Amino acid sequence: MTVTLVPGYNDAYNGFNFNGYGKGEVLVSVPVGWKVNVRCENTHPNAHHSCAVVRGPGDRQPAFPGAASPSPHIGLAGGKSASFSFTPRALGSYRLACLVAQHEQAGEWDVLEVTAARLPAVRLLRAPP
């Protein structure tokens, strides 16, 4: 399964969003044990952003080995991208979050749910931007 996250996609939540969504408005479900590939594309020209999977609000470390873009607390410079992969081994709810200081608190997070389902899914919890 591949997920592409574009931090600061538009002005939603003052630019603190992934693909125009934030504050948990997207639910990505992945079956336990599936390999997840994440592409983090910072298209915002003037801000650093990162992509990571964490256990809950304010967590600063990835929930799974390899589940973050490089230097997630510093972030990727504008126009830069990075990919990472991880395999979730535990059922539960996690956050897709930017770990640059104050970005998650400003709304730059969505939900990753690791399930016993057979197939992955993405559910938008509000209308597209």
Give me the CATH number covering residue 81: 2.60.40.420
- The whole-number pLDDT of residue 126 equals 80
The answer to whether 127 touches 8, Cβ cutoff 8 Å, is no
Supply the range of the domain harboring residue 15: 2-124
Tokens of 24: 């948990």
Q: Is the residue at 106 inside a domain?
A: yes
How many degrees, rounded to 5, is the angle at CA 125 between CA 119 and CA 126? 140
Spacing of C-alpha 118 from chain mean position? 22
Q: Is the residue at 16 inside a domain?
A: yes
Mean pLDDT of 11-25: 95
The average confidence (pLDDT) of the chain is 95
The answer to whether 101 touches 129, Cβ cutoff 8 Å, is no
- The whole-number pLDDT of residue 127 equals 74
Neighbours of 120 (CB within 10 A): 16
- The whole-number pLDDT of residue 128 equals 62
Mean pLDDT of 49-67: 96
Q: Of 129, 48, 59, whose CA–CA distance to 82 is shortest?
A: 48
For residues 118, 50, 82, 31, the Cα torsion angle rounded to the nearest 10 degrees is -10
| 61-117 pLDDT tens trace | 999 999 999 999 999 999 999 999 999 999 999 999 999 999 999 999 999 999 999
Q: How many domains does the chain have?
A: 1
Q: Is the residue at 45 inside a domain?
A: yes
* Position 45 pLDDT exceeds 90: no
Q: Is the residue at 78 inside a domain?
A: yes
User: In whole angstroms, what is the distance from residue 55 CA to residue 52 CA?
Assistant: 10
Q: Is the residue at 66 inside a domain?
A: yes
Q: Is the residue at 72 inside a domain?
A: yes
Q: Is the residue at 75 inside a domain?
A: yes
Q: Is the residue at 129 inside a domain?
A: no
- The whole-number pLDDT of residue 106 equals 97
- The whole-number pLDDT of residue 119 equals 96
